[in-house]
Amino acid sequence: MAIDMQDAELRNARPDQTPSDGPGRQPGSPRLGMSTQAVHAGEQRQKAEGSISTPTFSASTFTFESTAALMKYVEGDDERQEYGRYGNPNEKSVEQKLAALEGAESAILYSSGMAAIVGLLMSRLNSGDEVIFFDQCYHRSREFCVKHLARFGVKTHQVKTGDFEAMEAVINPRTRMLISESPTNPHLTSIDIEQFAALGKAYEVETLIDATLATPYNIRPIEFGVDYVLHSATKYLGGHNDLLAGVICGTAEKLEPVRQLRGILGSVNSPQNLYLLERGLKTFALRMQRHNENGLAIAEFLESHPRVDRVYYPGLTSHPSHRVAATQMSGFGGLVTFTVRDADWRQTSRIIDAVKIPRIAPSLGGVESLIEQPLVMSYFGYSPEDRERFGIFDNMIRMACGIEDAADLIADLTQAFEAISGD
């Protein structure tokens, strides 16, 4: 029972959960479920002044009472804070909570998801190295590799998402990392993570999964042998559309040099931001349960609607990678993408303008539902050929289901479709 557990035990406990078991505590298991972890992991049982929540340490620097105390620290005999760019107490507790949720040894927080991917790749790659990406991915991750890593002599290969033969074919002695999202944004394609990790191991190449859309509630890639798991904590982990943060999880050994470089890059979070993230994480498991329910309910509604052409949702048997998703995930998240039947971009935008509950905005994973037309939101500057190549269609809508009542979201979408019924 959590109540009887010693502080250290709780802090270090990992949820005992294999992917197919689903979230939560296993009957008879001495380990803790994901919701208990979300509330308690990483935190001291007894905090300063008896405060139940982690106090916000609003400090850019940390004082030493004497030269002797400083000597003790520089000689490595005192684990404490020194200067905010290298860490702060709020960061430490959130990192431990995230590592526990992910089933990882260690976690490093960054000021955004992009800062996390940049921080990891800058640490691991040298001039002359190569990385291989599955091509459906967050457009800024792709842009960083193709446009910017190239300036430092790093070559990026992109292969079709899920095509392991194509990925294997471009692995060569210069390959340092295999990178994929799962599920991908906005097509929600799941890749076989076990196969992905095994391919990396076979060639001694590191593997990175951006699992932002799945979260550790739905999949924990480290259990499949992946080296690094990345999340934009801006999305489900923070969960309230009120902060930006990113995290990388992995072994302490692999993450050590990454942390050293982060201290130089300086892409860290303020203590106030970390407090918000810790607070958001308390309800992580509860929120994910609702995001999963809403995502599935909306996807099923859309699939049965006459004005909808195609729905991309990993929980639907119609999704090409549904079988992969169903075997490795315990839920499918809140993001649903669909195309509108017989609609050009303008008619599609009229649906977006007609909905009353979801707000028009980029991002996902917060309590508020958001809706967007990828063509306009993220791919406006792309040529029609490139949009075609990336599978971004004019009549595509991406909806990030929040935690509102599914019936209200369905009623809202219903009236929005009626609004274009004359078109």
Ligand X SMILES: *Cc1c(COP(=O)(O)O)cnc(C)c1O
Residues that bind ligand X (CB under 6 A): 112-114, 138, 141, 181, 185, 210, 212-213, 232, 234-235, 244, 246
| Least spacing, CB of residue 217 vs ligand X, in Å | 15
Judged by beta carbon, residue 276 or residue 416, the one nearer ligand X is 276
Which tokens belong to 174? 């210069």
Q: Which of 166, 123, 139 is nearest to 375 (CA)?
A: 139
Nearest position to ligand X, beta carbon? 113
The C-alpha R_g of the chain, in whole angstroms, comes to 22
Residue 384: phi, psi to the nearest 5? -55, -35
| Least spacing, CB of residue 78 vs ligand X, in Å | 33
Contact 78, 69 (CB under 8 A): yes
| Least spacing, CB of residue 157 vs ligand X, in Å | 19
Judged by beta carbon, residue 181 or residue 223, the one nearer ligand X is 181
Judged by beta carbon, residue 70 or residue 261, the one nearer ligand X is 261
Which residues on adjacent β-strands are paired with residue 131?
A: 156, 177
Contact 183, 334 (CB under 8 A): no
Helix (H) or strand (E) holding 99: helix 89-102
Judged by beta carbon, residue 211 or residue 316, the one nearer ligand X is 211
Judged by beta carbon, residue 230 or residue 308, the one nearer ligand X is 230
Which tokens belong to 350? 């009229």
| Least spacing, CB of residue 96 vs ligand X, in Å | 20
Judged by beta carbon, residue 213 or residue 297, the one nearer ligand X is 213
- d(CA 136, CA 273) in angstroms, rounded, equals 30
Judged by beta carbon, residue 114 or residue 274, the one nearer ligand X is 114
Helix (H) or strand (E) holding 108: strand 106-110
Judged by beta carbon, residue 171 or residue 226, the one nearer ligand X is 226
Judged by beta carbon, residue 35 or residue 273, the one nearer ligand X is 273
| Least spacing, CB of residue 378 vs ligand X, in Å | 10
Long-range contacts of 356-363 (CB under 8 A, 24+ apart): 356/412, 356/415, 356/416, 357/404, 357/408, 357/409, 357/412, 358/399, 358/400, 358/402, 358/409, 358/412, 361/241, 363/234, 363/235, 363/241, 363/400
| Least spacing, CB of residue 138 vs ligand X, in Å | 4
Q: Which of 119, 99, 113, 140 is nearest to 12 (CA)?
A: 99
Residue 244 corresponds to which amino acid?
Answer: L
Judged by beta carbon, residue 10 or residue 179, the one nearer ligand X is 179
- d(CA 100, CA 91) in angstroms, rounded, equals 14
| Least spacing, CB of residue 236 vs ligand X, in Å | 10
| Least spacing, CB of residue 14 vs ligand X, in Å | 24
What are the residues whose beta carbons fall under 8 Å from the beta carbon of 293, sequence distance 6 or more?
Answer: 406
Which tokens belong to 10? 């709780």
| Least spacing, CB of residue 174 vs ligand X, in Å | 25
Q: Which of 197, 283, 178 is nearest to 238 (CA)?
A: 283
Q: Which of 375, 392, 257 is nearest to 312 (CA)?
A: 392
| Least spacing, CB of residue 210 vs ligand X, in Å | 5
